[in-house]
Structure 1
Amino acid sequence: MHIVKKIGLLSLIVSIVAGLLFLKPTGVVYASSPTATIVVADTTLSIGETSLVTITFSEAVTGFTLADLTVANGTLSGLSTSDNITYTVTLTPDTGITDATNVITLDNTGVADLAGNAGTGITSSNNYAIDTLRPTATIVVADTALSIGETSTVTITFSEAVIGFTNADLTVANGTLSAVSSSDGGITWTATLTPTSGIIDATNIITLDNTGVADLAGNAGTGITSSNNYAIDTTQLTATIVVADTTLSIGETSLVTITFSEAVTGFTLADLTVANGTLSGLSTSDGGITWAATLTPVPGITDATNIITLDNTGVQNAAGKAGKGTSDSNNYAIDTQRPTATIVVADTALSIGETSLVTITFSEAVSGFANGDLTVANGALSSVSSTDNMTWTATLTPNSNVDSATNTITLDNSGVTDYAGNAGAGLTESNSYSVFTVPASADLSSVTLSNGTLSPVFASGTEVYTSSVPNSVSSLTVTATALDSRATMTVNGNLVISGQTSSNILLNVGSNTIVIVVTASDQSTRTYTITVTRENSSSTGGGPSNGGGSSTDSGSSTPPALIDNTVTSSDGKITLPTGRAGLVSLGKEIIISIPAGATSQELKLSIQKIRNTEALLKNNEVLASPVFDVLTNVSGNFSKPVKLTLAYDAANLKSDQTAAVFYFDEVKKAWVKVEGGMKQENDISVEVNHFSKYAALVVNKANGMPVVDKTTDPTTEISFTDISGHWAEVSIKEAIREGIVTGYPDETFKPGNTVTRAEFSVMLMNALKSTDAEAELIFTDTAWIGEWAKKAVSQAVQAGIIHGYQDGSFRPNAKMTRAEMAAMIANALELSTKEIPTTSFTDDKAIPAWAKSSVKALKELGIVKGVGAGEFNPSAQTTRAEAVIVLMNMLGQSQ
């Protein structure tokens, strides 16, 4: 601008010099018109600027006014002269104009020189440029809906090129702009808009303070320019989940409230993962922000740590933006498990003066438990007590004058609740215990004969009786019941179980004496005698002669011969009329004796020897005799026992084997043992009440179970229907191979069945392969030890493994406890000591003092292990599977 002004001044000087050169000489008169020059000093005018305009005439003039001038895009003011030749005026450009070509024109005709000569034509000034227009701008945000991670191009377009424009001239709502830049000389500028995070705002603009920019002419902008509106949602879609009831028990539900940071769509129950429960009834009442559902806990669960988890990616806000990550609820505890209980009676055989500890163990701490919840068979319990409300104890005192082999304590679980308020359900029964508190007695409570009546009528205090039977009765049986169930008895020297029928007693004609000797549990005895008189079949004799001679007694001292009405057959077939006895055989291999009255109809019977027995010996049982199929025309059982005798060769049996009679159960497809067999050298007799397939099988003397023929197929896999997958399967199979245990005829092993003291004695001695001599058994209940167990018990007594109870009993049928099992094994391994150590089991205090050293020693050797939370559980009953595991551990240790 300064250069332009200097050029204008120079032009003015030149004009003045030129004017002086052409001055007319004084006194010289010319008749020419005046001329003029117009010089605009500032040829580039912008806002706020003016310019000096100089109009120089060739001579002094008159009549010159502003009206003679025409101004392009501007106005003139302040016309003045000091010599009427040179005039000056001020040029003010119009506002809001941008024009590079402008001149001032003079209408010369409006002026005249002093001689009166008027000017002619038009005179134009030099050109001048005007820029009085302020720059303006538009701002466009390209993306008008910005969310997380998005940006937008912002374009600022000025009406002309500008200078001085920076980011400081811009105000950005809820965002930031990168540095503005232009590639076209300053007209169009761009930047990148990044929205602020965590914002939801539908109304946002960018504003430009125009005063901070100027165009190239220096015109500053004015006012504020605003962009188009843009919406921002840069909040992360979030949710809170609140479970109202944080401790849920049986029958309870809880309201669950899911609150989103904004309204959402697409939300379903599938987006929620519920720990130990289910949700239902999902709904919203405020357009999708707050949702409610009902939480129902899963039954049978106890879990203190549970949450509901929301997968936020499954929901979207109104803009379609999906959530991210997961949201967790507050924690809630669930206890929908009813308390359960086990009841263990420590002493399972109670007699006079004895009591037993009873332990009631609940699955969790309970309240409301009292003696009123328990029903005690043939006994009374002291008040139950507990230190932790989980394990309760009481003392069981048996009732007096009771003889009961099977008794339990029953708990009504509905009377107790856990701390969550869950009531128990159903009944829990203890292990069985026997009660015998009847004073020892050698008295009989009853005696009956299969034929005939007693005289006098039976009374316990009467020891001598008589009875008469007709001649047709050739034998009878006696059924006597002891008042003391632990008493033993013999009938004519043969052991008979109390309440069971004796074997047939043959009757001679005339007087027959039957002697019943009862031995009480305290070893006192009482003898009952029954004299049975069998009538003669007929009587003959001579009376006095009427002929006057002497008479002679023609009677004989020899009794008449017995008439035998028994039908016999040796070819295996017989037809027996009603009321007749029969004796049928098939050679010497099988003999069947049928008493008269065994059936109420004619009996037809045939015996067939089965040649192909493969289908009958699925478990490779070993036959001691052939298999006989006895067929009859009579269905159902016989009215009287039928005697069946099978022949076998005892020489074929090993020293630890014997023979027993079995019949084949056609339904179960298994051999069933007939108990009570009587053996002679090479035959065995039993009494049966029905006919089927019969055979004598080789059995183990120790346990009475059939011997398996291992030589038939050495690769045959031992298979029982109930051990596949069982935790003790491998050990059970090994124990069977070693002859320690056997399975049952129905192809089961029954691993969960409990083991009696007699059974475990047999298993232990089988494991030890004992060859010890047999001690005389002097237990007060020796008569209750089965024949199959007596040898093993005798050997165990001889070896110092078994000592019995303080009352002198062995209690063969009592269930074996874990403490007793440990003591017997420790005795067998000679590990027991008299010291009473402390074991490492958590229930050490519950282990009886007499068993502690045994338990400690066996644990250290790895023979026994704990159960549950490190407990030994000494009073728990031992199962067959547990016994096998411990015995196999014992053998592994001793090898």
Structure 2
Amino acid sequence: MKRIFTLAGQYLVAFMILTMGWSEYGCSDSASVNPVVELANLTVTSGSTAASLQPSFNPATTSYTVDLSSNTGSVTVAAQPAVAGDSVTINGEATTSRTIQLGDPGTTTPVNIVVSESGTNSRTYTVLVTKASLTGNNSLRSLSISPGTLDPGFQTNTLNYEVSVGSSVGTVRVTPTLDDSAATMTVNGQPAASGQAQTVPLQGPGLSTIVTVAVTAQNGSQKPYTLVVSRAALGGNNNLQRLTVSPGRLNPSFSSGRTSYTVSVGGRVSSITVTAAPEDRGASMTINEQATDSRSIPLPEGPSNTEIQVIVTAPNGAQKPYFITVNRPALPADNDLSALTVTPGALVPAFDSDQLTYTAEVATDIGSVTLSATKSDPNAVLSGDVPNQGQATIPLDGPGTSKTVSIRVAAQNGEVKTYTVVVTRLAPSTDANLSDLRVSAGTLNPNFAAGTPVYMVDVPGSVDRITVTATKSDPNAVMSVSGTPIATKGDPSGSVTVPLALGASTSIAISVTAEDQVSRKIYTLTVNRPSR
């Protein structure tokens, strides 16, 4: 009798354990399983790259799929049991990691992973590995050429292009990029790597070279892209693209069709540098019979007219001469300044030797400025408000006034140029406004505006003090509360902390005195603290 009750008790305990397991884990699998017989981890890798399980791994999920490219030959499946000592088989082989060979493109390979507990309870996980079908993508994603430009611009389904290059171009670099990395291609019959430039030699000037980029898709279908590269014939372009001189400037300004120019330089200039460039890079050039693109030409002493000849020879042999006549006067006519500064302050506009009039503004507390002038010709003479040494301290009149400073520059030939600087000493600011007003508790009512001087602030009964922070519109104004400065001249903002009486209203007055010490504005805050 005792044994019967013992057996009945055992069966009852087993039944209760099973019932609790079903209640907690459910019965989502096709067969009932022990909830602890499961995997802790499951991965599929292709080479060193982890494949993506769909859905993401969860020990309670037993069915997965993996999609791979058509050129994947095998994968490695690794599985670890949740409980040490449980056994794992992968496609019938007792192991926790196994290489699975895949079938042809377009096929699916099933992988069954069984985790078992002491050969009794088990759970089977299934991974369906699908290998993509061979595609028919035989297109290029991009195609470029250097030098030159494709005509028309590249489009995936446009197969024929034209490219024009100069007569001096002997090779081009063609860079094709596959749309499908598994496809293959050739450039003029030679295998080519996607995205890598291929150098193609061109036929002689005046001839065309055909470049064929043949793309073969995974399924064997082909698509040819054709580039016809036309190399220009040797031309008769004997024009200059650029012609400059230093010092001085060409008169008239350079244009390729004009062949005669003059240049005026100072009497102390001993040489002039001529720099030129032909329009056709295949053309040759000489400056005063020397093959070069830049040459310094010495000028004779005293007044002189020196002729410089630039000859351009086109690729076909046709020549064009350009003439530059450099006029050097007997005496320098240089009455320019090379630099002019005012301290403190800044010239408006920025200094330029051809700009004669300037203005400058300084703060109201500045009583004098220093003007420094540098002559372009050291032998010119300065006079006026700045002596020949080139520097003078100019006293200013009272705030709000302007003073005109004149600098006369006399060249060696007697020609005079006058530079003028009008220095304005600003009047003291009348700005007594605030640009911002904030409180540490509550909200300003109304919202802050510079023209609104009175505000209300309601705070909870628990707030026993408030901090008011104010920012001046003019940093040079002075701000105070109850006669005590909270922001002196130069300080942009200041703050004050005021205790609040319970069940009372506290008034805080912020006084702003402008820089002129006359203009004043008072901002008042009434802070209401209720009884608790």
> Which interval holds the TM-score relative to the shorter structure?
0.3 to 0.5
> Of the two structures, which has the highest relative contact order with CA contacts closer than 8 Å and spacing of 6 or more?
2
- Report the structure, 1 or 2, having the larger strand content: 2
State which structure, 1 or 2, has the greater radius of gyration over its C-alpha atoms. 1
- Report the structure, 1 or 2, having the larger helix content: 1
